Structure 1
Amino acid sequence: MIASPHTWLEEHTPRAEWLGGFKKDGENYSTMDALHDLLSEHFTAVGTPVKLPFVIRETANKYQHNFTEVTIWERKT
């Protein structure tokens, strides 16, 4: 299982290490595209990705409401 909000920010992750969130060969390249490219040799995505809400408390009065995308991967035999 992989859960990610697909939020790529240079202040947290160097751009060279992003899994998607940029243009590749002139086309949008998403995190899901990168996961499929990286995992498909040994894993198969199972089912449909699910978006789950989550909240981050920043201060006593400020919160972020976000969604994370959850995917399930099954090892190929």
Structure 2
Amino acid sequence: MTDGSGILGILSGFIFAVIIACGTFYIIKEWKNSNWLKIGSVLIVFLILADFTTNKGQATRDLLAKVINTISGGTFK
């Protein structure tokens, strides 16, 4: 079951599709109000979800490590 097959793979794919659909609906709803902070936060969640589905979150971990390293003055390994 670790290869994403079976009922767990179908369920996780369905949940991912529902999250994407709800986020898209939310962006369309907020677009009229031009609430860019909310729209941007939903887009960031989309990018993180896409990263975790494509390469298990490696780009997200790399980005967070760079941010923490910058904040800590280069002491974070």
- Please report the TM-score for the alignment, with normalisation by the length of structure 2: 0.24
Between Structure 1 and Structure 2, which shows a larger proportion of strand residues?
A: 1
Between Structure 1 and Structure 2, which shows a larger proportion of helix residues?
A: 2
